[in-house]
Amino acid sequence: MPIHDKLVKESIRKTLSNMKCESCGQHYQPDNICFRGHRENCWFISVYCLGCQTLIPGIVRVGMDDISEAVTYSKEAESSQLPASVDSNDVADMSAFLKDFNGDFHSLFSKT
């Protein structure tokens, strides 16, 4: 696995584990965040909430600046803290998008 992929995954896990489930309010656990794949800067994930036993699919879009910062960080820092790539607004935007998303990824990616 390329180093920047590993850093992006760690950053997404860290950010999402600081967030709470909308249904029950429990924090997501890093081990319950599963990466299904990615295409360019879109990461396909699923998050399992232990509190309400809900499986939440999602797409996290990571900007190239975030990836560059993560790679630079890995070369320069000894600390395990990573720059946040996803914030609560990103998750809210994705939730709104997924509410109306019909699952047609082919059409979605052919637009870009």
For residue 17, what are the contacts with CB-CB under 8 A and spacing of at least 6? 27, 28, 29, 30, 33
- pTM exceeds 0.75: no
Query: Can you give the residue ranges of every domain in the chain?
Result: 3-110
Q: Is pLDDT of 55 > 60?
A: yes
Strand ranges across the sheet with 42-49: 33-39, 42-49, 54-61
The owner of tokens 């656990």 is: 29
Predicted confidence (pLDDT) per residue in 63-107, tens digit = 755 544 444 444 443 344 444 567 788 888 888 888 888 888 777
